[in-house]
Structure 1
């Protein structure tokens, strides 16, 4: 097998391509058009970017050298570089300081190093968390995150605390006070009234649409009037998001957009509620995906064995038509996978060949039944290797 890449690509990209082409069934698993010297060259270039981080982590923490390398290479991404896959990390560990013999580390071995590192780091975070008196962060916040600030900054924040406010509350309040915001419903109504918009939608096919809302506004005279707001962000439910407005002619098609307003058909209040629900469904863990599948009366949840584009093809067997309509990301314990396609075949149309069952409903009419493992690593291993390599 060959590894196809261009000379001008970043070494991290080349290493990912080479890793995807490894074949451990052969005596020499390397792609036929790549030499060991070339791999070492790419890896030593990456060592200049990440080596100091690895050494500091290995010297100052309980992580071993290989655990530190795996953690840094998987979780830190230098500007201009790509995140390394487990196969690429295996090549790096093999090439940096390797002996003359042996093969690159397999993704299974690298994943084990990553799991060990995660376990040690989780234990360290738990030590810091529970060494303080209660109430503990898990009792106060939905998604507690550690944040380091200078001692003087902490003192200033403490002086700004209001009654019953936590540090998280005061930071959130102060940030809101520094930005000009507008409720999305208000913005849509202004576009309708002041710009005579006949349609307002969100381009949900754009990458990252849920982090920076791309609004498509259909008006009689695109670009012909001043902006209707000087706001930098919009508020949608409990979210505050940056946004952009692209004005288009009134007759422009509305495919691939989520409708916020359509004259005579969808009112702003209804459209904004649809968007809120879509934002809630953009990403999911595997347990959450199974919960959604069960709620949609699906018989099974499966994934195609081969990637689609740069992500996966999810099959929600016999699910309702709107199940997973806006799912873009599947969150695993050590990576995030892009959901490129979702289909909802009937039980009769579902072909198990070329797919892997992740979960089946208790009454599913299949020869095998599958529950989702409780262990995150076991859940991850259920996904096809080729699909995992996209994350």
Structure 2
């Protein structure tokens, strides 16, 4: 399809016309009659009009760069101009943020950015409406106050929230419980001295096992919980408090999913100090960002990190790449990856050698490769949105 751009048209009108003529079924989706340089020039003119406001929104709200760009360009318009279409916004993001490499963003991708931005704006407006005196229609807050939290924190709070519990009640309960937590070492010592426990482990087989620690205790006879345990509402591990439940068993199965905290009669035995350190390390590694993963893999000698183009179960399939088989299993505790606006579950981690990666390169996507390794160097983008866009769409659709 060919387009004719009139010089007197506003930049937004020009982009809308070009966007309406895109053909993503063609090898080159751009219409005839316009060059990439012309599109880039138009987009930078639009950037002069709206760029500072986009940057301000990114700096002062929880909207990502792409969400802010989409929301501003779709929602706002200077006098005498028109809002940009989704296709035009895809052209803008492509030209401004991608140096005209690849293809413009499709309407589907841009719509997803806009929907996410609109949802965040609506939540913010709902919060602002609660700054006056109560009562409110849904009576969520008793004494309303503005509370802004990042998306990962909100998701963690949601996991701790009980059925029919308001966020206010949930926060109050968590604050109350934080004052009655006991160190894991105290828990083990109480069971060991008062009940003769010779085995304490945390079962990690459950999804989001870190939200509530399921503690398996090996005791020979039935009895009551030690007082210090019965009075505790949370266990404290490495300075963090966790909800917990206890399963007392006379002959506990030493399952592979058990992260052993203490084993007095096992061969070899597990001292409490070693067990608590191991649990603390595992809890710290359950949810990580991509930069954290790369930093950890670099520290253990990995060459690269790749991701499967298809999900593994209900999450991502990660492939840490090494020149030789690793002695230990890296990322063993990893279950979730923090992205800029969502959380991605990890379904499986499969370390592989460089040779194996080359055999499976068509079914994986390279996220990072170190500069001094056998693979071509690939740096992880600094921008969180750019990092998210590296992930295959089929995998991203499993995120929350």
Q: Give the TM-score taking structure 1 as reference length.
A: 0.57
Q: Is the 8 A contact 1:211 1:241 kept in 2?
A: yes
Corresponding residue of 1:371: 379
- Where does structure 1 lack aligned partners over 5 or more consecutive residues? 1-23, 26-61, 71-104, 125-147, 155-170
Shift of residue 116, structure 1, vs aligned partner: 5.4
Give the alignment's Cα RMSD to 1 decimal. Answer: 3.7
Q: Is the 8 A contact 1:199 1:250 kept in 2?
A: no
Corresponding residue of 1:380: 388
Q: Is the 8 A contact 1:198 1:250 kept in 2?
A: no
Matches of 1:388 and 1:152 in 2, distance apart? 34
Kindly provide the CA deviation profile for residues 43-97 of structure 1, in whole angstroms up to 9, marking residues without a partner as x.
Answer: xxxxxxxxxxxxxxxxxxx999x959x9xxxxxxxxxxxxxxxxxxxxxxxxxxx
Q: Is the 8 A contact 1:314 1:339 kept in 2?
A: yes
Corresponding residue of 1:5: none
Kindly provide the CA deviation profile for residues 149-176 of structure 1, in whole angstroms up to 9, marking residues without a partner as x.
Answer: 948999xxxxxxxxxxxxxxxx99x936
Q: In the superposition, relative to structure 1, how do residues 197 and 375 fare at CA in structure 2: closer, same or farther (>3 Å)? A: same
Corresponding residue of 1:288: 292
The counterpart of 1:321, out of the listed 292, 316, 328, is 328
Q: In the superposition, relative to structure 1, how do residues 180 and 371 fare at CA in structure 2: closer, same or farther (>3 Å)? A: same
Q: In the superposition, relative to structure 1, how do residues 246 and 107 fare at CA in structure 2: closer, same or farther (>3 Å)? A: farther
The counterpart of 2:355, out of the listed 325, 345, 348, is 348
- Where does structure 2 lack aligned partners over 5 or more consecutive residues? 1-23, 26-62, 75-105, 126-140, 148-170
Query: Helix, strand or coil: the match of 1:348?
Result: helix
Shift of residue 348, structure 1, vs aligned partner: 2.0
Question: For structure 1, which segment, 229-238 or 326-335, has the greater mean C-alpha deviation from structure 2 after superposition?
Answer: 229-238
Corresponding residue of 2:273: 269
Q: Is the 8 A contact 1:321 1:344 kept in 2?
A: no
Matches of 2:242 and 2:252 in 1, distance apart? 28
Corresponding residue of 2:302: 298
Query: Helix, strand or coil: the match of 1:349?
Result: helix
Structure ID, larger Rg: 2
Matches of 2:145 and 2:391 in 1, distance apart? 47
Q: In the superposition, relative to structure 1, how do residues 364 and 326 fare at CA in structure 2: closer, same or farther (>3 Å)? A: same
Q: In the superposition, relative to structure 1, how do residues 251 and 331 fare at CA in structure 2: closer, same or farther (>3 Å)? A: closer
Matches of 2:371 and 2:218 in 1, distance apart? 47
Shift of residue 307, structure 1, vs aligned partner: 0.4
The counterpart of 2:370, out of the listed 357, 361, 374, is 361
Corresponding residue of 1:254: 255
Q: In the superposition, relative to structure 1, how do residues 178 and 386 fare at CA in structure 2: closer, same or farther (>3 Å)? A: closer
Matches of 2:211 and 2:144 in 1, distance apart? 31
Corresponding residue of 2:21: none
After TM superposition, list the pairs within 5 Å mapping 1:329-340 onto structure 2. 329-340=336-347
Matches of 1:285 and 1:117 in 2, distance apart? 25
Q: Is the 8 A contact 1:298 1:320 kept in 2?
A: no
Q: Is the 8 A contact 1:214 1:244 kept in 2?
A: yes
Matches of 2:195 and 2:209 in 1, distance apart? 23
Matches of 1:312 and 1:200 in 2, distance apart? 31
The count of corresponding residues between Structure 1 and Structure 2 is 253
